[in-house]
Structure 1
């Protein structure tokens, strides 16, 4: 800007009545007494302050805000905004609810107003001056409250981000067994607000059918609504959670609850009693999940699916076994392949009884025997030879867990 350009000036503030100025000066001289009075009022009206601050600490915190409000009345404009900003940050760091902080601020303003009224007396001229000053005081209170709330929410956001980072680090340590911060498992449990000893299981599921960033919160909230405490973390292939069992929430009931959530494949580890055993249970839960049929909802317990877990844990070996044992069956037309594989699985489900398998398939027992004979012919495996029965079962599980891709 060139030197000869005329600068604009802010509008001149209305003059303040000498009586108001004198009253404000008197308030500033008694600021320590006013701060003590306000401290007592706030502690009486908002008892939470008694637990977080001493009387002297609260009076010291109130003092600069009183000075700012009184000086705002003296000059008819809001000043000293650093005071409410500092108050907002300090109360947020102490996790005092914002509604309580704002209420304390208004209690302080009311006390200042009462003192101002008493100092100005009751003559008509003073009353008119007080009406003008009321606007200045309560405008300053509004601005102070806005500044305070903004500073409070800034700290609240910082705390939230810090809490999220701490929680993520704790979950990573808990599920992997490796602490990047050197924390002991007991410290990790404390950070997650979980007991160190009790009855636990780990649950591993496919990715929840919601936005990825909401999945852990969704899982935790869904179980919390059923009275179940848990802590969850999103991973590349799904969700993993540590669940606290109780007398009311036993493993069978948990399985029913998880089945009702329809979240795809779900695996549950063996029950364990110390949080330090979590990493081993994570592997069990993942293996149990991977034994469920892909693309279907299902809840699997590790203890009930150890054989299938052996197959799921070694995909390459499983696919090779399926091709070696059932290759000729898998090369049949899709309709024929489904009939033969379905009949063989029904025979295993029926404990090797053709008659019971026929009931499951709604066909004649001779039809079952004919199809099984064809499986024997194509595979060269005899269903009366134990080792062949084992090979066929493992190959069958491999085709369930890793379905073959149909040829063009």
Structure 2
């Protein structure tokens, strides 16, 4: 909805008459104005001459009619022009400058047209021209920014469609999409999955989703992988054909899932095999962890958490009872006692390789899934209890 420019309550008759004389010369003035605007703004070179001339004539006629008869002046055509210029890529500053050039030209035309007796009223009425410019400039800014937002949205939707085509199975569409996105079909690629707030490296072709950001990064063979900071990232192993992007993104997503929410870090697929294995099938991991740790997890919260913390510490310290006792601030015999209870409750010994592996996987599942509860926005413990992992 555009607001019209409303004339002053009492227009000066002599200024109105002067405006009417210039209105009769609109075509002549518009030709000279178009020449001046094109000379003053190189960025308007992308605008066809006939388009610029038509806009100059329209704006002069609209303004002079407004000043001659006191009618309200709509900004609709000005906003339409701003949108067209935005779509052509004319900078906003250049567009606004062209209107200032137009207002200056109109003032000079008034001065040249006015007789000696009209100079005084001309000076008294000058503020109307500059007030009109300010109102037009605000309308231009609004329309231009709206057009920019629409253009950016269309570009993003187009880019998203192209990115999605990379994940398909049609080799022709994959090649066409890669070309449109500026990606080679062969080379050295990495797929990246990141949380929505993370910043992706320069040069990455990305896709923004509600819960994550996906990207493809093409790197020359000798170029090191760029640093990633400010969030959680999962990175695929390098691959050499763009048609392998779908598989690589699956691995990148698994690597991302291996970094607990709330942590900051980069996980390359294969760096965290246990966490990645759990992330690849969380429901299965939950079910198996419940089967291994079920009796322990059924204990009262305080007792359960103490035994879990002891087991985590013992594994983290490489099976050293003494070092686990140090970080837990307790005696090593206390650690031994708690590990004995763990073995009794689970039927598995931390000293038996296969049984210890089963315990470690179950404990890591509990730890990683608990991190999701504690650190994921909007996820409550009660919500998580409705999933396969029901002991917390």
Q: TM-score, normalised by structure 2?
A: 0.70
Change in Cα spacing, 1:379 to 1:319, as seen in structure 2 (3 Å) is: same
Aligned to 2:279: 312
Aligned to 1:211: none
1:66 maps to 2:60? yes
Shift of 1:160: 0.9
Whether the aligned pair in 2 keeps the contact of 1:20 and 1:130 (CA below 8 Å) is: no
Equivalent residues in 2 for 1:9-408, closer than 5 Å: 15-16=13-14, 20=18, 24=22, 27-28=25-26, 31-32=27-28, 34-50=29-45, 52-55=46-49, 57-75=51-69, 84-120=78-114, 126-133=115-122, 139=128, 142-143=131-132, 146-147=135-136, 149-150=138-139, 153-154=142-143, 156-164=145-153, 166-168=155-157, 170-171=159-160, 174=163, 184=173, 200-205=190-195, 216=196, 218-220=197-199, 231=206, 233-235=208-210, 238-242=211-215, 244=217, 253-254=227-228, 257-258=229-230, 266-272=232-238, 277-293=244-260, 300-403=267-370
SS in structure 1 opposite 2:212?
Answer: strand
Deviation at 1:154, TM superposition (A): 3.1
Larger Rg belongs to: 1
In 2, distance between residues paired with 1:169 and 1:185? 14
Cα distance in structure 2, aligned partners of 1:308 and 1:319: 13
Structure 1 residues 151 and 101: alpha-carbon distance in aligned structure 2, compared to 1, 3 A threshold: closer
Change in Cα spacing, 1:378 to 1:149, as seen in structure 2 (3 Å) is closer
SS in 2 for 1:351: coil
Contact 1:240 1:282 in 2 (8 A): no
Alignment partner, residue 210 of structure 1: none
Could you say if the C-alpha distance between residues 11 and 360 of structure 1 is closer, same or farther in structure 2, counting changes exceeding 3 Å? closer
Cα distance, 1:169–1:45 mapped onto 2, change above 3 Å: closer
Q: 2 CA distance for matches of 1:346 and 1:11?
A: 83
- Please, what is the CA RMSD of the aligned residues? 4.5
Q: How far apart, CA to CA, are the structure 1 residues paired with 2:260 and 2:16? A: 86
CA-CA distance at 1:335 after TM superposition: 4.0
Quick one: structure 1 residues 143 and 390, their matched pair in 2 at CA, closer, same or farther if it must change by over 3 Å? same
TM-superposed CA distance for 1:144, in Å, is: 6.2
Distance 1:335 1:21 in 2: 88
> Is contact 1:68–1:79 with CA below 8 Å preserved after alignment?
yes
SS of the aligned residue for 2:90 comes to coil
Q: Does the aligned pair in 2 maintain the 1:293–1:400 contact within 8 Å?
A: no
Write the deviation string for residues 22-71 of structure 1: whole angstroms up to 9, x where unpaired: 9537734xx34x33432332233322223x13555533432332334444
Q: Distance in 2 between matches of 1:186 and 1:156?
A: 34
> Structure 1 residues 340 and 13 mapped into 2: Cα distance closer, same or farther (>3 Å)?
closer
Q: Which residue of 2 aligns with 1:208?
A: none
**Distance (Å, rounded) in 1 between the aligned partners of 2:142 and 2:48:** 24
Report what 1:5 is aligned to: none
1:346/1:357 contact within 8 Å kept: yes
Structure 1 pair 142/391, CA: closer, same or farther in 2 (3 Å)?
same
CA contact (8 A) 1:77 1:136 kept: no
CA distance in 1, matches of 2:294, 2:149: 56
Residues of 1 paired with 2:226 and 2:107: CA distance?
65
* Contact 1:189-1:195 at 8 Å conserved across structures: yes
Cα–Cα, structure 1 residues 128 and 347, in superposed 2: closer, same or farther, change >3 Å?
Answer: same
> What is the CA deviation profile of residues 289-335 of structure 1, one whole-angstrom value per residue up to 9, with x for unaligned ones?
43345676665443222322222333332233223222233334444
SS in 2 for 1:303: coil
Number of equivalenced pairs:
361
Instruction: Assess, with a 3 A threshold, how the Cα gap between structure 1 residues 137 and 185 changes in structure 2: closer, same or farther.
Output: farther
What is the rounded CA distance, in whole Å, between the counterparts of 2:142 and 2:243 in structure 1? 37
Closer/same/farther in 2, CA of residues 324 and 109 from structure 1, 3 Å limit:
closer
